[in-house]
Amino acid sequence: GAVVSQHPSRVICKSGTSVKIECRSLDFQATTMFWYRQFPKKSLMLMATSNEGSKATYEQGVEKDKFLINHASLTLSTLTVTSAHPEDSSFYICSALLSSHDTQYFGPGTRLTVL
């Protein structure tokens, strides 16, 4: 149980385009999901907390107009990287909060490369 998926697993795009990443909790409902960014050999950096039916809460320094988050259902949150640039290239990971366990379970990550 507590399986979280992400799609796509890898994406390559051109500068200036937008990319949408999906995060799904497959066997449980999650009112709260989180989006992280991870650089090579570094730890996870929380970008935002996504709450179903309300606006996401962004961490300091994260541009909300750049990284659009939509949590439209109890099993799906999306992160859209708008007008992507090479510096946005990174490993993006989501997690979903399993309330009954009070624990975050992570997706497999999405590798974004912006050319």
What residues make contact with other proteins under the rule CB under 8 A? 2, 4, 6, 32, 34, 42-44, 46, 49, 93, 95, 97, 102-109, 111
Nearer to other proteins, 76 or 82 (CB): 76
Nearer to other proteins, 2 or 74 (CB): 2
Of 48, 46, 53, 101, residue with least CA distance to 79: 48
CB of 2 to other proteins, least distance (A): 8
CB of 16 to other proteins, least distance (A): 27
CB of 65 to other proteins, least distance (A): 21
CA distances in angstroms from 2 to 15, 17, 100, 105, 112, listed in the order given = 35, 33, 11, 7, 25
Nearer to other proteins, 82 or 109 (CB): 109
Nearer to other proteins, 16 or 108 (CB): 108
Q: Residue 13 is encoded by which pair of tokens?
A: 């795009």
Of 23, 27, 26, 30, residue with least CA distance to 7: 23
Tracing tokens 């590798």 back to the chain, one arrives at 111
CB of 25 to other proteins, least distance (A): 13
Four-residue CA torsion sign, 106, 43, 89, 61: positive
